[in-house]
Structure 1
Amino acid sequence: MANKPVSLLLASHPGPTLVVTVVAAGLGVGLGYPPARLALLAFAILLGQLSIGWSNDWLDAARDRSVNRADKPAARGDIPVTVVRASAFVALAAAVLVTAPLGWAALAAHALAIAGGWAYNLGLKRTAVSFVPFAVSFGILPAIATLGQAEPAWPAPWVLSAGALLGVAAHITNVLPDLADDARTGIRGMPHRLGARSSGILAFCCLAVATGLVALGPGFPVRPLLVAGLVIGLAAAIAGIALVLRRSPTRLLMQLIMTCAIVDVAMLALAGQSITV
C-alpha cells in the first residue's frame, strides 16, 4: 500500500494533469511570457487540473470500487475519499486565486475550463454529450494563455478549433479502455453509444484534423517545422486507427493523443507562429 501523499498524487490523474500543464506552459513560451508570469500560468493550470482529477476520483470512488479498479487509490482504500474531496476543493480555490493576477479575462477562461472538467465528473459523462466538457475545456485552454498576457488577446479561431478537437480525441481515448466497466455501472457517454471501433476512429480523425489546423491555420508559406509536425500527427493518427482496428483499446491510445498535443504546441512555439487574432 502506498503512503498517503503518493496515493493522493496518483488520485490526481498525474499523466493528463502534467500534459495539460506542459501544453499551457508551452503556449506561454510561444507567446513570450516573462519567467515569473510563465510560472504563474503553469501553476494556475496545474492547480485547476489537480482539482479536476481529484474531483473525478472522489465522485467515482464507489463506482470504481464496485468494478475493482486497481489503479484508483481512493477505490482501493489507500487514501480516504474525504481527503481526496477536500483536496479537490482546496485546489479549486487555489486555482482561482493564482489565476487572478493574470487578469479577469484569463480568470474567466480558466474558470470555464475547470467548470467543464467538474461538469463531466458530476454527471455529463453519463450522457450523449459527454464530449462537450472536453471540447470546451481543451478548446478554451489557449485562451487562458493569450488572455493572461500583459496585453490580452483572443486566440485565432483555428487555435480554438484545434484545442476542441484534441479535447474530443482525449475524451474518447481516455474512455475506451473502460467501456466494459462503465457499462456495468450505468455510464453511457458518447463513446459507449458509438462503440469502441467507431469512436476510436473518430478520435484519431479529430487528431488528424487538429494537427492539420495547427500546421496550416497560420496560412502560407508553411514552415518546415510545421510540415514535420504535421507528418508526425498524421502518422500518429494512422497508427491509432490501426490499433483501434486490430486490438482491444489500451491506455496507449490516450498517450498518443497527449503526445501529439505536446508536439502541436511545440510546433507553434518553436516556429514562432502567432496564435492570436
Structure 2
Amino acid sequence: MSPRLRRRRTEPAEQNVAGTGSTTTTTAPEKQAEKSAERPSEDPVRGATAELTGKLAGKTTDTTTVEAAKPPPDEPAPTTGRERRRTLAHATPILLLRAAHPRQAVLTAVGLAAAAALAGRPGREVGLVFATVLVGQAVLGWHNDLVDRRRDAQRLPSGKPIADGYLDPATAWFALSCGLLLLVPLAVTNGVTAGCFYLASVGLGLMGNVVLRQGWFSWLTWAAAYALYPGFLSYGGWGGQTTGNPPEIAMVVLAALLGVGVHFLCALPGLVADHEDGIRHLPLRIALKIGATRLLVVALAWTALTLVGLLLVGNAVGLSQ
C-alpha cells in the first residue's frame, strides 16, 4: 500500500507538463498576463488613442462613450426643414416684421383704404392711404414693443422678438426712425391737412404707449387717435394738394367709439400679465367684474355695431360735410 502523498501548498502554482515529469511554476502576475492574452483585444488603435488622450487630459477617457457620441464620418448630419425655418424666422427682416404687430397694422390699413374707396377716392389715392397707414402702424408696433420690452422679458418666451432677445433694441429703434422719416412724406402726399391729421393720430398713439395706459383713461388716446381718421380721409387728395372738406361730426364720434372697441380687443390677450404686473387699465377693471369671456363678447359687439354705424352714416350723409 503506497503512502498517501500530501500536496504541499505553495504560493506559485505547480502544473504538470504533459509528456514530462517536470513541473512548471506560474506566478500570479503571469496568470493575469495569460488571462489577458487569452481574452480577444477589442481595438488596439482605439485603446492607444484613448490612453494617449487620457494622459494628455490628466484623466481616463471612456472610449466607448466617445465613439458613440461621434457621428458617422461619412454621413454628415442632414439639415432638416425645421432648422431651415428656424434660421429664416430669426432673420432680422422677419423679426422686424413680427415686432411691427403686422395683424393690427394690416387690418387698420385695409379698413382705412376700404373707407377711402367707399368715399369715391381714385385707386391711386386708395393705395396711398393703405401705404401711409401701414407704415404708421408699423412705427406704433415697434414703439410699443420697445417700451414694454423689460416687462415682457419677465415672461419668457413672450413671443415678442425684442423682449426674447432675438432682435436688438438698437435695430428696432433704427427701423422706427426710418419709418418716421418715410411716414412724413407719405402722409403729406395725401394732402397737407390730411397728412397733419394722420401724423397727429400717430403722435397720440405713441403717447398712449407711454402715458395713460395703466389707469382709468387708457381708452382716451385710442379714441382721440381714431377720431382723427375721418379728417385724414375727408381732406385727402394726391400730391400734397389740400382738397376736401371737414368730416361729419357723426363720423368723428363713431370713429372715436371704434377706437375704444379696438382698445378693448387689443387688451384682452394680455389681461393676465397686466393683472400680475399691477396694471389697472379700463379693460382689466371691467374684466375683473364681468369676466374676460363676457368682456370679449361685449367688445366684439361694440366694435361690430360701431362699424355698422359708420357704414350707415357714411351712406346717409357721406364722409365730409
On whether the aligned pair clears a TM of 0.5, the verdict is yes
What are the within-5 Å matches in structure 2 for residues 99-248 of structure 1? 99-149=187-237, 151-196=243-288, 197=290, 199-200=295-296, 202-217=298-313
The yes-or-no answer on 1:45 pairing with 2:164 is: no
Shift of 1:126: 1.3
Q: Distance in 2 between matches of 1:185 and 1:68?
A: 15
The yes-or-no answer on 1:24 pairing with 2:112 is: yes
CA contact (8 A) 2:109 2:134 kept: yes
The 3-state SS of whatever aligns with 2:279 is coil
Q: Distance in 1 between matches of 2:299 and 2:197?
A: 25
For residue 7 of structure 1, what is the aligned residue in structure 2? 95
Q: Distance in 2 between matches of 1:215 and 1:47?
A: 25
Shift of 1:11: 0.4
For residue 181 of structure 2, what is the aligned residue in structure 1? 93
Shift of 1:116: 1.8
Q: Distance in 1 between matches of 2:319 and 2:109?
A: 18
Q: Distance in 1 between matches of 2:186 and 2:109?
A: 14
Q: Distance in 2 between matches of 1:106 and 1:215?
A: 21
Shift of 1:186: 3.4
Q: Which runs of 5+ in 1 are unaligned?
A: 221-272
Instruction: Give the direction of change, closer, same or farther, for the CA distance of 1:25–1:215 in structure 2 (3 Å limit).
Output: closer
Shift of 1:181: 0.6
CA contact (8 A) 2:229 2:255 kept: yes
Deviations 1:23-45 (A, max 9, x none): 12112212332333332222111
The 3-state SS of whatever aligns with 1:73 is coil
After TM superposition, the structure 1 stretch with the greater mean CA deviation from structure 2, 112-121 or 11-20, is 112-121
Partner residue of 1:75 out of 163, 167, 172: 163
Shift of 1:170: 1.0
Shift of 1:215: 4.6
C-alpha RMSD of the superposition: 2.2
Q: Distance in 1 between matches of 2:106 and 2:308?
A: 24
Q: Distance in 2 between matches of 1:181 and 1:157?
A: 37
CA contact (8 A) 2:187 2:199 kept: no
Q: Distance in 2 between matches of 1:118 and 1:208?
A: 26
CA contact (8 A) 1:99 1:107 kept: yes
Higher helix share: 1
Q: Distance in 2 between matches of 1:36 and 1:185?
A: 46
The yes-or-no answer on 1:276 pairing with 2:320 is: yes
Shift of 1:185: 2.4
After TM superposition, the structure 1 stretch with the greater mean CA deviation from structure 2, 143-152 or 13-22, is 143-152
Q: Distance in 1 between matches of 2:255 and 2:266?
A: 16
User: What is the count of residue pairs matched by the alignment?
Assistant: 225
Identity within the alignment, %: 25
Q: Distance in 2 between matches of 1:163 and 1:174?
A: 16
The 3-state SS of whatever aligns with 1:169 is helix
Partner residue of 2:145 out of 49, 57, 60: 57
Q: Distance in 1 between matches of 2:204 and 2:320?
A: 23
Shift of 1:148: 1.1
Instruction: Give the direction of change, closer, same or farther, for the CA distance of 1:219–1:86 in structure 2 (3 Å limit).
Output: closer
The structure, 1 or 2, with the larger RCO (C-alpha pairs under 8 Å, 6+ apart) is 1
Shift of 1:205: 4.8
Q: Distance in 2 between matches of 1:96 and 1:182?
A: 33
Q: Which runs of 5+ in 2 are unaligned?
A: 1-85
Instruction: Give the direction of change, closer, same or farther, for the CA distance of 1:218–1:175 in structure 2 (3 Å limit).
Output: closer
- AA of the residue aligned to 2:228: I
CA contact (8 A) 1:179 1:192 kept: yes
Instruction: Give the direction of change, closer, same or farther, for the CA distance of 1:93–1:188 in structure 2 (3 Å limit).
Output: farther
